[in-house]
A and B are shown apart, each in its own frame.
Chain A
Amino acid sequence: DAGVTQSPTHLIKTRGQQVTLRCSPKSGHDTVSWYQQALGQGPQFIFQYYEEEERQRGNFPDRFSGHQFPNYSSELNVNALLLGDSALYLCASSSLAGMGLRSEQFFGPGTRLTVL
């Protein structure tokens, strides 16, 4: 049973460019959340997708957008990249029941984005 997968593993971009990160949830899961983890810090919640709609959003600018596909996979898009966007981007999945507080989220290995 495959866990949460993310691609690419590493990515290098320059300021002003746009980037797309991809996530496939764990089998049986239908909810995807994205987190940004700057070096030496805890993950920060970006947003959550369920039924192809954004359901919750953290304190991130509109440059950060996302999408969820009918197969539950998800993309995170970041426009007009800034140096401060350099971070590990983590994807987490859970099931519909996972909308509850008790639910455990399963995390992927992350995509390391470096902005030069």
Chain B
Amino acid sequence: AQKVTQAQTEISVVEKEDVTLDCVYETRDTTYYLFWYKQPPSGELVFLIRRNSFDEQNEISGRYSWNFQKSTSSFNFTITASQVVDSAVYFCALKTSGSRLTFGEGTQLTVNP
């Protein structure tokens, strides 16, 4: 069975601070993909980033970066210089077959001006 754990329920930061969202996953499959989605108050899930299980190279895309460590089954997501518009619920998700995504419980990020 697959499982995704986001231990941080809520995070509050002041604008321009960097913030890291933690994600730990469990799976017995050797081939899988990890995703981060953002859910603003409107409710629609917005795709942010994806990483496959064979590529542990960490990358930066604009203000977003991620740290994938297979040894610890972690896929953390960092927002640099946070902005008020970044306030949302962020979900980490795992896919091991077909279209089925297994989501974590989400982390509510609040960026205060």
Contacts and interface: CB of A to CB of B under 8 A. Distances in A.
Interface of A: 31, 33, 35, 40-45, 48, 55-56, 58, 88, 90, 92, 94, 98-99, 101-110, 112
A109 B44 CA distance: 4
Contacts, number: 73
Contact of A104 (B31, B50, B102, B105): B50
B13 interface: no
Contact of B44 (A41, A44, A45, A108): A108
A15 B96 CA distance: 35
How many chain B residues sit at the interface, stated as a range, is 20 to 34
Contacts of A94: 99
A54 to B, nearest CB: 11
A19 B33 CA distance: 33
Interface in B67-102: 91, 93, 95-102
A101 B100 contact: no
Contacts of A40: 105-106
B50 A102 contact: yes
A40 B100 CA distance: 20
